[in-house]
Structure 1
Amino acid sequence: MGVERVHDFRSHCINAGFIPLSSNHERPIVAKETAIRGLNDYNCKLTPAHPRPVILLHGTLDTINIWTVFALKLIARGYCVFGITYGRFGIIPILGGLTKIEDSAKEVGAFINKVMRKMKASQIDIVGHSQGTVVARYWMKYLDGAGKVHRSIGVSPGHHGTTQAGFVALAAATRLLTAINPYQHILAPVYPELITNSTFIRKLNTGGDTTPGVIESNIATIYDETVIPWQLSLQDGPNVTNVVLQDLCILSFNGHATMPLSKVVHQFIFNQLDPSTAEPANCWSLL
């Protein structure tokens, strides 16, 4: 199972545009970021059917390109879709999600405020993968995001962090960082923050898991190799929908990194964004 999960992450790297610099993977993997047609189009028109901009947020060691397939689907359905690669840092300048979450939240918040201003929108919807959902929650709770979000949808989110085992698995899969390296907090300041019961995670969840006034939903996978145990992706509170991918489709073997590529996950998100047009999210979604 462990080998399958590492392969799962490498498949994500290929799909997201990650290019290994050497065949033995001893040198770092870098990402080639490409434009997503229709993303960040400030000429897009909000409509009664889709009245809010949708903000897509990636996770740790990733870029906005992880959302390429889903973003194109959203745009084709008439949504106005926006997103950036946030949190670039240090020796891995192309990948995002590496700076402290407090800093990433400021960057994301500034971008969202720009989107809202240019689109003349009073609220937005957020779809976040992994750390992306945590960044959004911090912005809503501790910065200037209160009241600006209608829906927040988490895909394998790290609401409660992960055990150190999760970071060991991530480091082993990516070969980018070593979780036991004493300098990991310098190479990637975000890593210590995302460990379960870290000072940051305790602060994030002070007063409860959820954000008042926001409709929140999460989808987790039992094959998560980064958020360990996978139950840490779920929230406890009112106005929350928690779903496990394998309860929707037992044939879905997605791990943490490939969740944004899953057709079943895509249908789940569509249903959350617009319940009035919901269709079953199940194994038929794979066809």
Structure 2
Amino acid sequence: MSHSTVRPAPRSRLITWLAALGAVTALLLGSPATSVAADTPKPPSGPTVSGPEALIRGTLQPDASPPGANDWQCRPTAAHPRPVVLLHATWSNANLNWITLSTWLKNAGYCVFAPNYGGEPGVPFKATRHIPDSAREIARYVDRVLEATGAKQVDLVGHSQGGGVLPRWYLRFEGGTNPADPAHNKVRRLIGLAPSNHGATASGLGTLTTELGLNQTVSLVAGQAYADQMVGSQVHTTLDRDGDTQPGVDYTVITTRYDEVVTPYHHQFLKAGPGATVRNILLQEVCPQDRSEHVSIAYDSNALQLVGNALDPAHAQPVSCRFSAPLLGG
């Protein structure tokens, strides 16, 4: 079920969202948030919204909070003492990316927060700015969450850029961890869905633009985060120089063999350094029938159950595997 190798190859979302646009259909549901987190520890569960439905909702309401998120009156409980901060992918937004997981986590008793970062208000496709700049945004946001909730630490859950290079940069360079005293880290867990940990190739398209010297040109349209996430970028070179992890952080990587953006998929995996733990999970080794790819993993009930287990390993439950389709989830 787990792997422990590491190397480059993770993400950029532009290509995948262009494919997803052709699959658009229906409407989207949400459930209301409550202001106090429940005490009963249980795995996240509930209805799953499809990728196309989420795309409609996120495009029409790009600055809205996903259901259950950003209740600034929420106070963590003994069962779930750390707020969960959800970090969306490139060319996405919080409402689009987390319509399902945010609801699940709120219903399970977590305080859930989901910022929009790396983009302008009113623009649906965010997380396109220079990744170190976005990491500073996240640093300010996490500080606000800690102050509002009174918690000592948060857990981060991210998709693609939001689960890989962005939070890793924040942990290393923008105050997310304290290597001299890991007990004072601001982050306890980082859980990445199809994370861009070591650079993307987009099934070879990114390799082509890199070899042709076109990454900065593409970034004029796609945003600087495109160039930043390509294999061999200055951001990745700087970030990977001293290893994959930070002391005191528990890392979980959840990936799919059908990922078409962060390729090859096994380059998403991390290698644990001193004082850190890593679990690398290939989704198809848990649920062989799962066909989710880079986009639909965020709407895949199997993957989201694994997120719930990683957040609360003491109450981990077997995954009730369902069929999950490319672009749609399930």
Q: What TM-score bracket applies, with the shorter chain setting the length?
A: 0.7 to 0.9
Aligned to 1:145: 176
Query: What are the ranges of 5 or more consecutive residues in structure 1 without an aligned counterpart?
Result: 20-28, 172-178
Q: 1:207 aligns with which of 242, 248, 268?
A: 242
Shift of the 251–116 alpha-carbon distance from structure 1 to 2, 3 Å rule, reads same
- What does residue range 151-190 of structure 1 map to in structure 2 within 5 Å? 151-163=189-201, 165=203, 167=205, 183-187=217-221, 188-190=223-225
SS of the counterpart of 1:56? strand
**Aligned positions, number:** 266
In the alignment, the residues of structure 1 paired with residue 242 and residue 216 of structure 2 have an alpha-carbon distance, to the nearest angstrom, of: 32
Aligned to 1:247: 285
Q: Check the 8 A contact 1:89/1:96 in 2, yes or no.
A: yes
Q: Could you say what the CA RMSD is over the residues aligned between the two structures, in angstroms?
A: 2.8
Q: Check the 8 A contact 1:162/1:196 in 2, yes or no.
A: yes
Alpha-carbon distance, 1:206 to partner: 1.4
**Structure 1 residues 56-107: Cα deviation after superposition (integer angstroms, max 9, x where no partner):** 00111001021111110100011000011111159x9331110000111111
Alpha-carbon distance, 1:190 to partner: 1.0
SS of the counterpart of 2:100? helix
Alpha-carbon distance, 1:5 to partner: 10
In the alignment, the residues of structure 2 paired with residue 283 and residue 231 of structure 1 have an alpha-carbon distance, to the nearest angstrom, of: 22
SS of the counterpart of 2:126? coil
Alpha-carbon distance, 1:166 to partner: 5.2
Instruction: Please say if 1:195 is aligned against 2:230.
Output: yes
In the alignment, the residues of structure 2 paired with residue 151 and residue 99 of structure 1 have an alpha-carbon distance, to the nearest angstrom, of: 24
Shift of the 166–132 alpha-carbon distance from structure 1 to 2, 3 Å rule, reads farther
**Structure 1 residues 231-240 or 112-121, which shifts more?**
231-240
SS of the counterpart of 2:280? strand
Alpha-carbon distance, 1:39 to partner: 1.0
Aligned to 2:151: 121
Q: 2:299 aligns with which of 258, 261, 266?
A: 261
In the alignment, the residues of structure 2 paired with residue 243 and residue 43 of structure 1 have an alpha-carbon distance, to the nearest angstrom, of: 34
Q: Check the 8 A contact 2:190/2:252 in 1, yes or no.
A: yes
Alpha-carbon distance, 1:32 to partner: 3.2
In the alignment, the residues of structure 2 paired with residue 247 and residue 139 of structure 1 have an alpha-carbon distance, to the nearest angstrom, of: 30
Alpha-carbon distance, 1:167 to partner: 4.9
Q: Check the 8 A contact 1:63/1:96 in 2, yes or no.
A: yes
Aligned to 2:102: 71
In the alignment, the residues of structure 1 paired with residue 215 and residue 270 of structure 2 have an alpha-carbon distance, to the nearest angstrom, of: 31
Q: 1:81 aligns with which of 101, 107, 112?
A: 112
Aligned to 1:175: none
Code of the residue aligned with 2:54 in structure 1: it is A
SS of the counterpart of 2:140? helix
Code of the residue aligned with 1:230 in structure 2: it is Y
Alpha-carbon distance, 1:249 to partner: 0.6
Alpha-carbon distance, 1:109 to partner: 1.1
Shift of the 10–256 alpha-carbon distance from structure 1 to 2, 3 Å rule, reads farther
In the alignment, the residues of structure 2 paired with residue 168 and residue 86 of structure 1 have an alpha-carbon distance, to the nearest angstrom, of: 23
Q: Check the 8 A contact 2:201/2:262 in 1, yes or no.
A: yes
Alpha-carbon distance, 1:186 to partner: 2.4
Alpha-carbon distance, 1:158 to partner: 0.6
**Structure 1 residues 165-216: Cα deviation after superposition (integer angstroms, max 9, x where no partner):** 45559x9xxxxxxx95863222311111101121111111111111211000
Identity of aligned residues (%): 32
Q: Check the 8 A contact 2:119/2:128 in 1, yes or no.
A: yes
Alpha-carbon distance, 1:13 to partner: 5.5
TM-score for the superposition, normalised by structure 2: 0.74
Code of the residue aligned with 2:313 in structure 1: it is P
In the alignment, the residues of structure 1 paired with residue 243 and residue 126 of structure 2 have an alpha-carbon distance, to the nearest angstrom, of: 28
Instruction: Please say if 1:32 is aligned against 2:61.
Output: yes
Q: 1:230 aligns with which of 265, 271, 275?
A: 265
